[in-house]
Chain A
């Protein structure tokens, strides 16, 4: 007989749910994580296909700082989860670029040393650099972990500093692609989190990719005494007298918990509630989804002639348009990731990888008959990789074809299926719930929709919500 009473139940074994679980189990709470899938990781997971393992989500872990730098999210998370820095084995990026214009007219190079980006802006936008530096000061001074800050438009705040729309768009492009759930604009607090995560801190990746991070988290959680039920999602949260009284699992079992932390998203959680909060859910459901192409190569991308870029953010239009596309995919902008181009300490990944991400329209992918869906995938794969290659050094088509071992692609439909996110909206709801509170006294949100972004942000979100709502309360 399974014991069915917990101090805390966590819905979802993604980064945030696992981090919350580690904190709670470490401090003696009887905690169980319920995960619908057989693999942990949620938005940052991995899968095997034709004998090959692929990461999903993770291009690069943001928030990288070198050993010895304290007081940043990475250091906080390592301390809070009692993880030794070495365990994540993070390898820093080589260099990344933001490239704009149909013929790559202007490019800003950046690395994990902020001075590089600063010098690029000074050289290419000399009239903007002084105000740019003031903006950076404002970013550094902003309290981005406040639970009750009022939302402010980042376009508006940044517009007070930068007058050149091209530079403004070039700064926004990576920050939006790596975590923004809102169309066209961004909440300033989110802008600050992302600016710090990408530009003031930086990119890194473990040689083994996201699997290593997940393995470390799972092992901590297990060692701390946390329970986990895989292939066992939560189907309903039953409300009684303003509290989440019971959880009904996918297999029909019932469990109870004093407190419930949901990492599955705001709208998704509102729909789990019984009675369901459909209107609230509809008013705050994300609209932004993506496709991603993956090309596996029999050599390092650099040896094909693609150079040392780790990540390239590109846009060919006069204004960068971060919104739900009208067509199935928006080819005008996107992100290229070459995971081979991290400093792996003399080592190299056994195969080359070339990944391209573009904005996509969920509805136009969702209900296609299977044969049309497959044909669409094939067509957009070609289009998206062709579009992205405009922003890399030219590589002969025949050479690329000869070097390609296999390809794969995910679409908004894949995202919906494997993450449960409505509309395939990776970054969740446009309006974040910073304090994690819901209409039910003992039900809290963590993860994407609480609003700390990126993998490190997701883990910190789980930590913060566990601390704030469960541990701090019980410490009193």
Chain B
């Protein structure tokens, strides 16, 4: 798993949760909340979908790591089982 692939997975999740958001121009360093209209219910869904689709657990204390696409990739990439090989 590369960071770019990881970002893509996160974007896939957001596009399913919030199909009414335009995700084409997302800037990776900027907080998702500042570019998209996502509320706490949506963030809970990102966490839930990560678990459902990729068996990745994000404890509540770590929710802050999901703020931007970049920080998502930083935090989530090592959690994928094949990351060591990538």
A476 neighbours in B (Cβ, 8 Å): 59-60
Is B32 interfacial (CB-CB < 8 Å)?
Answer: no
A-B pair count, CB < 8 Å, reads 41
Chain A binder among B34-42, B68-76, B77-85: B34-42
Please report the C-alpha to C-alpha distance between residue A28 and residue B51 in the assembled complex, in whole angstroms: 10
Report if B18 contacts A (CB, 8 A): yes
B47 within 8 A of A: yes
With CB as the reference atom, state the residue of chain A lying closest to B19: A84
Q: A80-B41, A467-B44 are in contact. Are A27 and B19 (CB under 8 A)?
A: no
Question: In the assembly, what is the distance between CA of A343 and CA of B30, in Å?
Answer: 41
| Closest chain A residue, CB of each to CB of B60 | A476
Instruction: Point out the residues of chain B lying under 8 angstroms from A82, CB to CB.
Output: 16-17
Contact A71 B37 (CB under 8 A): yes
A residues 52-97 touching B (CB-CB < 8 Å): 67-68, 70-71, 75-76, 78-80, 82, 84-85
Residue total for B at the interface (Cβ-Cβ under 8 A): 18
**Chief secondary structure at chain A's binding surface:** helix
A79 in contact with B37 (CB, 8 Å) = no
Chain A residues touching B, range? 20 to 34
Q: Are B48 and A70 in contact (CB under 8 A)?
A: no
> Please, which residue of chain B has its CB at the minimum distance from the CB of A82?
B16
In residues 8-38 of chain B, which contact A (Cβ within 8 Å)?
16-20, 37
Residue picked from B42, B45, B51, B60, most chain A C-beta under 10 Å: B45
Q: Are A80 and B60 in contact (CB under 8 A)?
A: no
Known: A75-B20, A82-B16, A85-B20. A472 touches B39 (CB 8 A): no
With CB as the reference atom, state the residue of chain A lying closest to B50: A475
A interface residue numbers (CB < 8 A to B): 26-28, 67-68, 70-71, 75-76, 78-80, 82, 84-85, 463, 467, 471-472, 475-476
A-B contact pairs, 14 of them (CB 8 A): A27-B52, A28-B52, A67-B20, A71-B37, A71-B39, A79-B19, A79-B42, A80-B41, A82-B17, A85-B20, A471-B48, A475-B51, A475-B58, A476-B60
